[in-house]
Amino acid sequence: MSHHKHLDVIVAGIALTDIIGRPVDLKNLPKRGALKLIDSITLTTGGNVSNVGIDLAKLGFNVGAITRVGNDSLGRYVTQHYRTFGIDTEGVIIDARAQTSATIVNVDRTGERTFLHTRGCMKNFRSADVLSRLALLQKARMLAIGYLGLLPETEKDFGRLFRTLKEKTSLKILLDSAASPRVTPRALRSFLPYVDFFVPSYEEAMLMSGRSTPESIVEFLRRSGAPHVVGVKLGAQGCYLSDGHRAAYVKAQKVRRVVDATGAGDAFVAGFIAGTLKGMDVFESARVANAVAASCVSAVGASTAIRELQNYF
């Protein structure tokens, strides 16, 4: 079973398979019933559990996963892929009732992506999936969970889930968001007090807060009860972060050529966790996060270009 005496990080939430086609010109699709050639079709894993988990494993950390996959060839591909990177799969639940969650990713010539998605067994993911793995969670220092916005069945339970984790483990909790989360201020107030790190993307943060500047977004998150590190990912502009004492913009690292933006936000999270686990402060960790995200977009696939941690200092 579990082969790690200790785990640095457990990544919980969404695991899926990505079928990436490129380049796909959605304005110029083949005529109905016809065929068109493209350069490449790649099967890979996606979702925060896969992307953050594999990135952290490649950065040199011991990682465990808590998620659901179907009892199908895609699910077997996911668990095998995790094991290839040394990720502990004890917390991966095989769900015989639904297929593995999957996405068809159409990447155009500029690297922009358009998605066709089936939730599959992620519809069955619940906070009990996490809480039933307490023994595993007690071995780790950090829990990265995602995504707020894509786990509607679990999100309404986030307050109770995070509070229980804080009572029963010494975990630091990082929550990540995706896909235009529709979160009420009341819901935010129910779980943000237990979250140690919350750095949504600018678009997601704007939707959640109704504010448009990073400063006012951070102020809104503070007022919603976030006690520790909050901020906003700003893509090519880097990020804006507050640790409760000071707030600062941390510049992005220059990228010569963006090949594929898949997984950039997850790479940021992995880099940020890596810096934090190495004892860096929030702003140092954000520099590492920006550097890992910059290398992520330089190759096709969410984790292809990620290297050992010392490359990012």
Give the residue extent of every domain in the chain.
9-27+40-312
pLDDT 10s digits, 257-299: 887 777 788 999 999 999 999 999 999 999 999 999 888 877 7
CATH C-level class of 9-27+40-312: alpha beta
Q: What is the mean pLDDT of residues 103-111?
A: 89
Greatest Cα pair distance in the chain:
60
Closest CA to 229 of 198, 204, 190, 251: 198
**Is residue 55 annotated as part of the catalytic site, yes or no?**
no
According to the model, what pLDDT value does residue 203 have?
Answer: 93
pLDDT 10s digits, 56-74: 999 999 999 999 999 999 9
By DSSP bridging, strand 172-177 and strand 142-148 are parallel
- The catalytically annotated residue of 8, 95, 157, 266 is 266
Instruction: Count how many Cα atoms sit within 13 Å of the Cα of residue 33 in the half-sphere of its side chain.
Output: 0
What is the Cα–Cα distance from 15 to 97, expressed in whole angstroms?
16
What share of the chain has pLDDT > 90, as a percent?
A: 80
Tokens of 7: 């785990």
pLDDT at 3 over 70: no
According to the model, what pLDDT value does residue 1 have?
Answer: 47
Helix/strand/coil for 244: coil
pLDDT 10s digits, 204-237: 999 999 999 999 999 999 999 999 999 999 988 9
